[in-house]
Amino acid sequence: METTVAVPRLELLQVADAVAREKGIERDEVLEAMEQAIQKAGRTKYGHEHDIRAHIDRKNGEIRLMRYREVADPVENESTQMPLADARARDAALGVGDFVIDDLPPIDFGRIAAQTAKQVIVQRVREAERKRQYEEYKDRKNEIVNGLVKRVEFGNVTVDLGRAEGMLRRDELLPRESFRNGDRVRALIADVREEPRGPQIFMSRTHPQFMAKLFAQEVPEIYDGIIEIKAVARDPGSRAKIAVLSNDGGIDPVGACVGMRGSRVQAVVGELQGEKIDIIPWSPDPATFVVNALAPAEVAKVVLDEDARRIEVVVPDDQLSLAIGRRGQNVRLASMLTGWDIDILTEAEESDRRSEEFRTRSQMFIDALDVDDVIAQLLVTEGFKEVEEVAFIPLGDLAGIEGFDEDVARELRDRARAFLQEQTERLNARRRELEVSDELATVPGLTPAMLVTLGENGVKTLDGLADLASDELIDREEGFLREYKLSEADANAIIMAARAHWFEGEAAPAPAPEAAAAPGA
């Protein structure tokens, strides 16, 4: 008859309960850590080659130390396996793969064994605590939490969140902001990451979402979903812009965020150390949104370039400094808020530029069509920008211009076509001189002028073009074809056409990331 070695240890369960409460982890995890410690001590005493396991009874705290041997035929490791015949002699019901369990005498923990056991328990409890922290905070990104400053090292603030610690790096604090031990701090959980030293909770007071969440706490309509925060742009500690939209036509989103006598916005400003906040109405129309975002400056006119996501804003001369802001702050925040690049011109600058464009286009028509300045100016005034437009416009439309008749229209169109023919021949000659291949000239979307430009930049073959990314063609500063104002979709189509010969005889591939169609194309 086997003797079960069991030692009543009710105090063991009391210790496990106390540790579990203190660390905020499960009681079972603490008991498993204790079992690991006892098991390690047992292997140290009886030999690491043996399969020694410990079990603590969850009801009475009894500790069992056992040796496990697997029934095997044949035996490969005598320390952890038992021959089938020997096992059957003990219990005829045993088969290969079953375990024979022998109870071992309780361990009298020496000083070294006790210390080792303590280290194992501490380590396992710490791992369980870290796991609990990660599970608790991993889904709490973009939440605002409150904590007490635990320590400050080199400007980095460690925050006690109660059941975890958060880190506020120096670059996530507002300028000129400092904390001392014991100060209460409110911040956004920006990220939660598992790292070798445990889960790290990174906090921020400069993140745009910190401001958005502060408004959600102060403005009940935001919390209820009646008002939406559509965009936030911040220059932390200095100035910010927030775009809001009301889903209820009877509620003014700006007024709701400002509050009675500015009480709501002032609560947010106070938390952000006096950061000035512009609250503007959001609009689905880009032009209207940009005009709102540039407040308090007045805007006279806007011109959009949707392909490049650029917008040209014309302001009265006396509004220029207000629109730009100190060190460009106002226009920079407006650009961040709207997602559009914004160019600001005064009315005088725009007038000068338009006059220069009018003169340049008029001279272009004078040179290309051999006409006097009156006819050239008439064409520009009617909106013609290129000789191609004159060459291929229906004759009736051209003759319908005041001051033109059918004979004048036909003559202008003939001269435009002759000019284009001569220009094409000249460009083709230059292309051949640059040794740009005829195969490259067959790529759809490439004009003779583009081919010459590519040749002058060393792109002379299909493979040479196919190896390029779209931004190498259309980048505003260094793109080979930047002067031709191609859209990203046009550039991608040209590159994919150049790559087509790579895949002849097989299914066409999906576009590479740099050659994927532009959004909405």
pLDDT for res 356: 86
Where on the phi/psi map is residue 375: left (φ > 0), alpha (ψ -120 to 50), or beta? Answer: alpha
Of the CATH numbers 3.40.1160.10, 3.40.50.720, 3.30.1480.10, 1.10.10.10, which one belongs to the domain with range 10-134? 3.30.1480.10
Q: What is the pLDDT of residue 108?
A: 63
The side-by-side arrangement of strands in the sheet containing 227-235 is 227-235, 239-246, 276-281
40 and 123 Cβ atoms separated by less than 8 Å: no
Q: What is residue 506's predicted lDDT score, i.e. its pLDDT? A: 56
Q: Do domains 10-134 and 434-515 have the same CATH topology?
A: no
Please provide the CATH number assigned to the domain covering 138-204.
2.40.50.140
The DSSP symbol for 207 reads S
Rounded to two decimals, the pTM is 0.59
Domains of the chain, residue spans: 10-134, 138-204, 434-515
Angle at 207 between CA 203 and CA 212, to 5 degrees: 110
According to CATH, the topology of domain 434-515 is: DNA polymerase; domain 1 (1.10.150)
Q: 180: which strand partners?
A: none
Mean pLDDT by 10 residues, the chain (521 residues): 42 73 73 79 80 82 83 83 82 82 72 58 71 76 87 87 83 86 88 77 90 89 89 90 89 89 89 89 90 86 81 86 87 90 85 85 83 83 81 80 80 85 87 86 87 87 87 84 83 88 62 42 32
b/e map 8-27, b = 16+ CB within 10 Å: ebeebbeebeebbeebebee
**Contact (Cβ atoms closer than 8 angstroms) between residue 226 and residue 268:** no
Residue 269 CB-density burial (10 A; 0-12 exposed, 13-18 middle, 19+ buried): middle
